[in-house]
Amino acid sequence: LCVVCGQAKQFLETEVQNSAEDAAVRAALSYDGHSSTDDEQLVLPSRSISNANREKRRLPLSTEICPSVEGDMDLAESDYEDMDQLDEQYTTSVENVEETQLEKKVTEDEVSESTTKESVMENITSIEVHPDDKNEEEMVVKKSQQKKKKKKQNKRTSLTSLPEEIVSNKILRKYWIRRYQLFSKFDEGIKLDEESWFSVTPERVASHIAERCRCDLIVDAFCGAGGSSIQFAFTCSRVIAIDIDPNKIELARHNADVYGVADRIEFVVGDFMTLIPTLRADVIFLSPPWGGPQYKNVDVYDIESIMEPIGGTRLYQACQNVTDNIAYYVPRNINTDQLVMLAGPGGSVEIEQNFLEKRLVAVTAYYGELIHEQA
Ligand code: MGP
Ligand code: SAH
């Protein structure tokens, strides 16, 4: 993760002129993207502008509620092979949806049994076609072709277990390939809907943010299918997870159950903007809708595009009535000037780029006491 600490941007820009981290910091500020890896930490030297005139809430930052989740979330080569297979299968499936539907009704056992039988038959047939063939090379080629065919058939079988939204929406296929990055326990029954596939916080990013937000009571204002809330349950004593969509709350509850933390989260169906006056929190985590994957269609994302017509500034300011400790998960192409402006005159913000396997996934802006202490 590449971390950039920011004060007022003007201050930052002048200060970094002579700093050793000059190039990297300016690169991060102007967002040229891919200069850092997950492992690098880039922190500006302390030039903290005091927030002292604000009332500070003490956060119990040291108690570990539960060990964090571990798992291999890196993409395997076979995942990319899967993608190719999925491409082929997808074409078939959209061309013949009815056939796919029928296929789905066949039980897994029936499918794998028939696949095995067919494969055996193929072997026999091909040997019979060339009973006297002594050319071993040709036989090897044949066998490898048979293997490929068998593999393809097995893959086709696996199509039957793909979630409906992945089969029917081509755009979601890349997220399926990344499913273990999203949830390491994906195979233990994680469920997502269309919007959640592209908006869930990937697990490693979520657990990193959760560590930084460690506190007694956190509000996850837009919990979606629970990617972030689940990780907050490992670092915070109490989690309130809010979403306006009842189906999301069902998914979040189910997914939290997969991770064994459902009983540590209070799920609330409701409009966060309406609920704010009733809330109390040490920390608020904001991961609002960005307007879908189209957020990438602009060079610089305007913070006011968040939850239009409300806008990202009003959303942030409404939270300040509850707490100054706000973590804001925003698009990687966000206008960083706007994130700095939210801190107000003399205020501070820490802007962090979240990487996964050298891929810049998103940006998180930390405010209030969530900003790392600077030397
Ligand atoms: P992405 O659209 O999946 O970008 O968003 P990707 O696939 O890295 O880009 P590409 O170059 O491969 O095309 C990256 C991450 O941003 C997702 O994994 C989500 O965590 C987050 N994200 C994306 N969207 C559209 C939203 C959103 O609307 N709201 C929130 N809170 N997060 C989102
Ligand atoms: N962080 C989540 C993803 C959030 S996506 C995760 O890791 O899974 C944004 C979510 O905001 C969507 O689920 C959407 O239903 C919800 N949402 C949109 N408007 C809302 C509102 N006014 N109040 C609460 N939730 C809202």
**pLDDT value at residue 47:** 26
Atom of ligand 1 nearest to the CA of 288: 31
- Percentage of the chain beyond pLDDT 90 is 54
**pLDDT value at residue 149:** 65
**pLDDT value at residue 313:** 98
Q: Which of 244, 194, 209, 250 is nearest to 226 (CA)?
A: 250
Residues with CB under 6 A from ligand 2: 195-196, 199-201, 222-228, 242-245, 248, 271-273, 287-289
**pLDDT value at residue 292:** 93
Lowest mean pLDDT among 32-46, 121-135, 193-207, 300-314: 32-46
**3-state SS, residue 266:** strand
**Sign of the torsion formed by the C-alpha atoms of 179, 184, 186 and 192:** negative
d(CA 262, CA 239): 10
- CA-nearest residue for atom 23, ligand 1, is 199
**pLDDT value at residue 160:** 58
- pLDDT-based confidence at residue 159 (cuts at 50, 70, 90): low
pLDDT of 265-287, one tens digit each?
999 999 999 999 999 999 999 99
Separation of CA 305 and ligand 1 centre (Å): 15
d(CA 353, CA 333): 10
Average pLDDT of 205-225? 98
Rounded mean pLDDT of the chain? 73
- CA-nearest residue for atom 5, ligand 1, is 361
* pLDDT at residue 134 greater than cutoff 60: no
d(CA 32, CA 35): 8
Q: Which of 154, 150, 126 is nearest to 140 (CA)?
A: 126
